[in-house]
Amino acid sequence: MSTEPVLKTPEVHPALPAEETRRNFIGGQWRAAEDGRLVQSHNPATGEFLGAVPQSGAAEVNAAVAAARDAFDSWRKTPAPKRAEILFRAGELLIQHKAELGELMVREMGKVRSESLGDVQEGIDMTFYTAGEGRRLFGYTTPAELPDKFSMCARDPLGVVAAITPWNFPLAIPTWKIMPALVAGNTVVFKPAEDTPLVATELVRLLAEAGLPEGVLNLVHGVGEETGAALVEHPDVALVSFTGSTEVGRQVAIRGAELMKRVSLEMGGKNAILVLEDADLDLALEGIVWSAFGTSGQRCTAASRILVQREILPELTERLVAATEKLRLGDGLSPETDVGPVINGVQLQRIHEYVQIGQAEGARLLCGGEIATEGDLAKGHFYRPTVFGDVDPSMRIAQEEIFGPVTALIPVADLDEAIAVNNATRYGLSTSLYTRDINAAYRAIREVTTGLFYINAGTIGAEVHLPFGGTRGTGNGHREAGQAMLDIFTEWKTVNVDFSGRLQRAQMED
């Protein structure tokens, strides 16, 4: 990219092109890992080597946290509107480099170009939306119960925030964490997923170019078991904001509780689309295909369950299978591609194992169900979009997150059964309902227990000005985006000013 600064070439393993090796960003400087270990990044569609980044350990994490801690006092005292001006500049830079960022994302993460550009646009939207909060970090005033006394409250930043992010939205999700943390006056250590380090690096470059002071934002690459764990353990990290699997999130929550630090978790989903017999089936079909197979099913909001009233199940099944079989696999850079690869070989095998589990449980495989190996597809990690029928709600494929292009058709008798089945999982992120009945829609709004709910739309499509998050095993109650996003990144400070000139004792009788 044209914004990339000229760096001294780091020492790397001789098998890796030195000019393609990235570094950590600590205290305003690009640094190699102390021991020279590297993590490689490859194109999941072609196997092409894209570059390498440091495999950071405790030494790099300690340096990054120290830089963030040292920068905190000056940054928190910078007026919030001034902090926001830097984010506005960052948003402009993201717009200028949207095309390059989108193409890099296709190559590194695999999703098709239009989705990658949408990921970047979401990051742009979040950056501008959050920058606006620089003049809206509202507290409030309230009447005091004693005479000659003034009461108010305001938000204070926490300190050093650890942002640990996944690979499926390698630019959007980091902005959901970094931007509100920064505008609130915190400093940040950012640990991106090891599968998408290059997109993360470009985001940090642009934020640095926008004018962030040294140490305010730091980048440490590496794997979760080492780099992420070191961040969770560090005593100077006040908050760990984590998006990833429920299993890892539970470990983060347990350790965070032991260390008495704040933890914000966004984790898995087992989302459902409910289709009633009066639904517009053309509209419902479009929503199902997009929600189930967009991003190759690699979204926490992907629709992996389709709960259908029995009266329309045969027709919807036939149409869904036909539409699914038409989807074209391929490199996301090709305009002919509908569905790109999954992120890596480990995830490819995990998806296939779940398909085998579904068959063993008695579900009927209607289409897909195999790793694609013909032609150029053999170079990457491609799984054919898969639809199961005759699925019981208790089956593992109806209860466990697969995180791939697999969805399950589950028959239900009516809206009441659909809601009961929808709510009966360990997750509670996103639900959608297709119906023309306004009464049914409002009943479902009341009874569905997920954090996101859509009427006559799919389960995916978050907007940055609305709270994002779920219930049960999907998270620990906090929300990202929207007005709620500042809550996790700030502490409330209550202030009482007594100008009576005498001791006044609250709640005391004369």
Residue 502 DSSP code:
S
Tokens 């005759």 -> residue: 390
A 10 A CB-CB count for 48 gives 13
Residues tagged active-site: 266, 300
Structure tokens given for 328: 């074209």
In 272-367, which ranges are continuous DSSP H helix?
A: 281-293, 313-325, 345-361
Residue 474 DSSP code:
T
Structure tokens given for 305: 């369950």
Q: Residue 234, CB half-sphere, CA atoms under 13 Å: how many?
A: 28
d(CA 315, CA 79): 60
Single-letter amino acid, residue 119: D
The closest of 89, 241, 269 to 161, measured between CA atoms, is 241
In 46-190, which ranges are continuous DSSP H helix?
A: 58-77, 80-96, 98-109, 113-132, 172-183
Q: Residue 509, CB half-sphere, CA atoms under 13 Å: how many?
A: 0
Q: Residue 479, CB half-sphere, CA atoms under 13 Å: how many?
A: 19
Query: Three-state DSSP class for 500?
Result: coil
List the end-to-end C-alpha distance of the chain, in Å, as a whole number: 72
SS (H, E, C) 112-141: CHHHHHHHHHHHHHHHHHHHHHHHCCCCEE
φ/ψ of 429, rounded to 5, equals -95, -70
The closest of 24, 54, 41 to 108, measured between CA atoms, is 41
- Report the C-alpha dihedral over residues 224, 250, 402, 360, rounded to 10 degrees: 120
Point out which residues pair with 387 in neighbouring strands.
367, 407
What DSSP assignment string belongs to 256-281?
Answer: HHHTT-EEEEE----EEEEE-TTS-H
Structure tokens given for 393: 């709600």
- Asked if 435 and 278 count as a contact pair (C-beta separation under 8 A), the reply is yes
